[in-house]
A and B are shown apart, each in its own frame.
Chain A
Amino acid sequence: MVDPELRPDPDRLLQTLGQAARDAARGKLRVYFGASAGVGKTYAMLAAARAQRQQGVDVVAGIVETHGRRETAALLEGIESLPLRQLPYRGRRLQEFDLDGALARRPALILVDELAHSNAPGARHAKRWQDVHELLAAGIDVWTTLNVQHLDSLNEAVGGITGIRVWETVPERVFDAADEVILVDTSADELLRRLREGRVYLPEQARRAGEHFFRKGNLIALRELALRRTADHVDDDVQSYRRERAIQTVWRTREAIVACVGADPDAEHVVRSAHRLAQELECDWHVITLDAPRLTPQSPSARDALGQALALAETLGARVETLPGGDLVHAVARYARRHNMTKVLVGRGRAQARARGWRTWSAVLAGALAPGWIWHRSSFADALAAGCPEVDVIRLGASAHARAPARGRPRAVAREPGPRRPAGYAWAVAYCAAAAGLSALAFPVLHQTNIVMLFLLAVVAVALRHGRGPAALASVLSVGLFDFFFVQPLASFAVSDVQYLLTFLVLLGVGLLIGQLTAGLRMQARTSVKRAAETRGLYEFARELSSALQPEQIVASTGAFVHAAFGSRCALYILGLDERLAPSVPPGQDLPELDPALAQWVYDHGQAAGAGTTTLSTGALLYLPLKAPLRTRGVLAIENPRDVPFSVADARRQVDTYATLVAIALERLHYVEVAQQALVSMESEKLRHSLLAAVSHDLRTPLTSLVGMAETLAREPAALPPAALETVLAMQAQARRMHAMVVNLLDMARLQSRDTPLRLEWQSMEELVGAALAAMRDALAGHRVGVAPLSALPLVECDGVLIERVLCNLLENAAKYTPPGSVIGLQASAGAGELQVSVTDAGPGVPPGHERRIFEKFARGERESATPGVGLGLAVCEAIVHAHRGRIWVEPAPGQPHGARFAFTLPLGEPPAVQPETA
């Protein structure tokens, strides 16, 4: 018996199968992976490519950097090279890999060197690995090269070892998704030898730090990293192999990690660490940040750092959430519980930040008023551990990057936004002057302690009204003025009593603290006003969209609201009923830069592109797919606003929300349209019915008169001259023919309308044949009809009226096309699950090649004269027989020199039982 534990998990197997199906369509990616430049990756790749070529594989070099090395260039000979694409950039021409050329050429295998390369502005994707991704998606195999320091997760580690951080990185998942990783390895000594011989090409950046980078210790460390990473990749392969073979003995319970980041320098470090951990545990990971009102205003650089960290998390595959609310511990704990997170990662950020500047001073003071964890991350971790005991709280070590003096970062002095700043300082001076003047008046009366109070009042007033900077100025000024004018010795900054030092300190401290608090409050107020405005905008937009009944209304309100919210123009590409994107620009706006090809790309891939994204980011417009719950409904193209560009996470989130609203409105509209069409078709069906009834009635009445009157005349043959009698008989025949035509037309119309159900009953074919022969008695008067015995046939389930029509039409047809006096035979037989009925005539037969055409009805006047007179009769027969799931055909009459045999079948079922008669 198979141990259930050892069976492969069906879900996982399904996943594997789906993966296999996707893999079959995708190209294969092979990565030549090395520790550093100069190990011979390109060389190895080219050598292998030559071997492939000799085996007849269609190999094309998309882009290969030979760096002027002869032996490498020699290998490239004989391999077709794709021409590079020229991109104009600031007066220069940059050469780039031609993605569209490669897609058009469609080789079996393409060589694309330097996976980590960043494309020149103007290329479709920002990164070459995205190009490779598209090539793979198109089913083209790709070989590429990669150095270990360009791997996103190792970039930091390598930077820590070598002191050089590269900005061209490749996300981990791209590397992990590679089908093959081939490690190109060289010992450190060999590499150094090559370097000395000048056989290693160094990029500009590395050349500057050349000697530092290529120290033997570094190279050994890099080699180890590369070897480890390759081993990991092999391990992944082993893992998936084990999964397929159900070797796994222990199913790990599902781990999930949530990383908490704030506007700290180490936010990125936290994200990367979480990613590494998540990879090791093979689990989902989330990154959350708290969008809480703060006492300290955020510096723009800190905001940028946070935005970058969140963007990085998204590219690394995390689910990113911004939590509202004030209580961080509570919010994180709730999130962790709701999403069943097992580990919470917390950084150390603030510990370092505290070492800097006066800002920390005020922070410590403010700390007296605020819960401690806002300021001390360590306490946050403790608080979280206490509030959420079932979760592992992991406190990260400080990042290497944060330990080193941060380069280009410490622009962290909080700048206070607002136009009032210069005026604020003037006001600070004025307040202090006023306080000094007042004090001078009161000096003879008041004690010095109360004089200080006047200055304190001035400082508090300045802090409240004009913020931190003016408050600091006011504090300093007050201290100076108080000391100079009111402290012994007067008119000097000298201080006789040390006690006054405390007074000065308190004055300064209070000024700064209140300034800090007011600035925070003001920031918070401004944020909430902005939030409120955003929310109101969204609400109004949603309301407007919900009342839209036409796509034009959606376009117009989108234009108006996007302009109100971002100050930018926009355009919509809406998916029409013909599955094509049609551009529509709001009235009064025009966007000359619209790129329909890019819009189509965005729609096809369901990914945003253009400004603020990683795809064609140099464009002036952002293209967002309008993803509704059921499918993508179009594309929103929107101008990148000047003040807050879409690269800022907040703006992007807001515009995404707009896009979602538009998408949902479009989807709603689509269904309104579908419903309307259904209604219209219902109405037209009803109309058709009444029309049919009217036509039926109104045609029958005059036809009746016509037939009847002609017949009346013909009943007195003696009263008419022979020529007139002949005319009367012809009139009668034509009137009857017209009637037959009308009946066929009406039958056809009825059969084609959807709601004419068959009235199935168990019928006797003998009876139906009898009725048809009786109905056709006049038409068949000139022929001899031979009917085979039909009594032995079983009952057949059919609509008797319709099958009688089939029989009548076939008999009439036979009578019409055969000479008078000839024999018309009618046979029926049961067998093989069906009943076959045939009408055989001795007429001229059906011309070869027309066997199917004679069953076709006139389609809008076509072929009207091709087979004259056949008309609708046979088409009606075919429609009826098909409705019964039978077949109808014509063949030459068997055993006769000429003539046709029309046959049709009806499926035979099991007739209901009949109680035998008791008597």
Chain B
Amino acid sequence: MFDFPAQVLLIEDDPHIRRFVRLALEGEGCGVFEAETVERGLIEAGTRQPDVVILDLGLPDADGMVLIRELRGWTQVPVLVLSARAAEADKIAALDAGADDYLAKPFGLGELLARLRVLLRRHARGGAGSPAVVAFGAVRVDLPRREVTRDGQHVHLTAIEYRLLAALLSRRGKVVTHRELLREVWGPSHVEHSHYLRIYMGHLRQKLEADPAQPRYLLTEVGVGYRYAG
């Protein structure tokens, strides 16, 4: 089902979880490497060069956050965090440290695979730079020409709306926190004005989603940020 047989590094101390995740991934044709500790995980990440890392935050020897920071020192490999810590503050901390996505336990396998798929797609193209044209649903975004069409019709976006859309599109699959988006789109002085985001995301959904109340691409992670799932 994946676009290519990806190599996945699974860092998780619970053997049962490792077992079923591994079964599911192998069922999708992926190669799975396992690690139980941060130390082992770092070694595996260095030697195996995985396409994606699945990481549990609560590991016996150190906090998974340490591993993320360590990893971000030398690779942009996508990191999906699995954690029993469900509080939004924990999620934001992990995302700020460099994680790409976050799944709270217990999670459904379907959800896990869907997220991995999005992350892998971005990673596969990562080396080749961003695509010139992004298409989702009936929408096409021509990034070099700054042109957005829906069902072939031109859609007018304001400058801010466009910047916001571009910020999300460039991080396909990654949850972008409120602060990150505000800083990038409105500038550092606006990082506390989260209501701007709510309003402009509303506009974007109005213009680009089939049903703005049940978006399919411009998703909300309540209390954390937004994610483009294309």
Contact = CB atoms under 8 A, between A and B. Distances in A.
Contact of B223 (A712, A795, A800): A800
A92 B6 CA distance: 112
A764 B105 contact: no
Contacts of A697: 58, 84-85
Residue among A743, A761, A795 with the most chain B CB within 10 A?
Answer: A761
A52 to B, nearest CB: 74
Nearest to B58: A697
B142 interface: no
A762 interface: yes
A759 interface: yes
Given A696-B86, A715-B24, A801 B195 contact: no
Contacts of B20: 705, 708-709, 711-712
A789 B201 CA distance: 16
B31 to A, nearest CB: 18
B170 to A, nearest CB: 21
29 contacts: A696-B84, A700-B84, A700-B104, A701-B14, A701-B17, A703-B105, A708-B24, A708-B106, A708-B109, A709-B16, A711-B24, A711-B109, A711-B110, A739-B106, A759-B223, A762-B195, A762-B198, A764-B202, A766-B202, A766-B212, A767-B220, A770-B212, A770-B215, A773-B213, A774-B214, A774-B219, A774-B220, A795-B198, A914-B196
Interface in A870-919: 911-912, 914, 917, 919
Given A701-B17, A787-B211, A790-B213, A711 B222 contact: no
A764 B109 contact: no
A313 B23 CA distance: 99
B106 A735 contact: yes
Contacts of A759: 223
Interface in B65-123: 82, 84-86, 88, 104-110
A791 B199 contact: no
A789 B105 CA distance: 32
Contacts of B201: 764, 767
Interface of B: 14, 16-17, 19-21, 23-24, 27, 58, 82, 84-86, 88, 104-110, 158-160, 193-196, 198-199, 201-202, 205-206, 211-215, 219-223
Nearest to A703: B106
Q: Is the interface of A mostly helix, strand, loop or mixed?
A: helix
Contacts of B88: 801
Interface string A741-770: 001000000000000000101111011111
Nearest to A793: B202
A701 B105 contact: yes
Residue of A763, A766, A789 contacting most chain B CB atoms (<10 Å): A766
A768 B222 contact: yes
A769 B27 CA distance: 34
Contacts of B84: 696-697, 700-701, 704
Contacts of A912: 193, 195
Given A767-B220, A778-B108, A795 B199 contact: yes
Given A709-B19, A767-B202, 16 more contacts: A696-B85, A700-B86, A701-B14, A701-B17, A701-B84, A702-B16, A709-B20, A711-B20, A711-B24, A715-B109, A762-B195, A763-B198, A764-B198, A764-B199, A767-B198, A771-B222
A804 interface: yes
Contacts of A795: 195, 198-199
A705 B109 CA distance: 11
Given A700-B84, A712-B20, A801-B223, A770 B198 contact: no
Contacts of B158: 917, 919
B176 to A, nearest CB: 15
Nearest to A759: B223
A365 interface: no
Contacts of A701: 14, 17, 84, 105
A707 interface: yes
B199 A708 contact: no
Contacts of A715: 24, 27, 109
Contacts of A702: 16
A914 B202 CA distance: 14
B202 A762 contact: no
Contact of B23 (A703, A712, A785, A800): A712
Interface in A685-714: 696-697, 700-709, 711-712
A774 B193 CA distance: 25
Contacts of B17: 701, 704-705, 708
A569 to B, nearest CB: 63
B108 A791 contact: no
Contacts of A762: 194-195, 198
A764 B197 CA distance: 10
A773 B16 CA distance: 30
B206 A791 contact: yes
Contacts of A767: 198, 201-202, 220, 222
B160 A917 contact: yes
B214 A787 contact: yes
Contacts of B108: 707, 711, 778
Contact of A712 (B109, B219, B222): B109
Nearest to B112: A708
B16 A761 contact: no
Interface in A707-739: 707-709, 711-712, 715, 735-736, 739
Nearest to A766: B213
Contacts of A735: 106
A44 B109 CA distance: 101
Interface string A36-60: 0000000000000000000000000
Contacts of A704: 14, 17, 82, 84, 105-107
A787 B213 contact: yes
A600 to B, nearest CB: 54
B105 A801 contact: no
Interface in A626-648: none
A770 B110 CA distance: 19
A739 B84 CA distance: 12
A771 B202 contact: no
A790 B215 CA distance: 13
Give me the 10 closest cross-chain CB pairs, A-B, nearest first.
A705-B16, A762-B195, A704-B106, A700-B84, A708-B20, A704-B105, A919-B159, A801-B223, A764-B198, A771-B220
A830 to B, nearest CB: 15
A700 B105 CA distance: 6
Nearest to A912: B195
A13 to B, nearest CB: 53
A104 B14 CA distance: 75
Contacts of A917: 158-160
Contacts of B27: 715
A804 B14 contact: no
Contact of B199 (A696, A736, A774, A914): A914
Contacts of A739: 106
A791 B202 contact: yes
B180 to A, nearest CB: 16
A790 B202 CA distance: 10
Contacts of A703: 105-106
Contacts of A696: 84-86
Nearest to A915: B196
Contacts of A804: 222-223
Nearest to B23: A712
Contacts of A800: 222-223
Contacts of B159: 917, 919
Nearest to A747: B86
Contacts of A708: 16-17, 20-21, 24, 106-107, 109
A765 to B, nearest CB: 9
A773 B212 CA distance: 12
Nearest to A716: B27
Contacts of A919: 158-160
A917 B199 CA distance: 12
A93 B105 CA distance: 87
A807 to B, nearest CB: 10
Contacts of A709: 16, 19-20
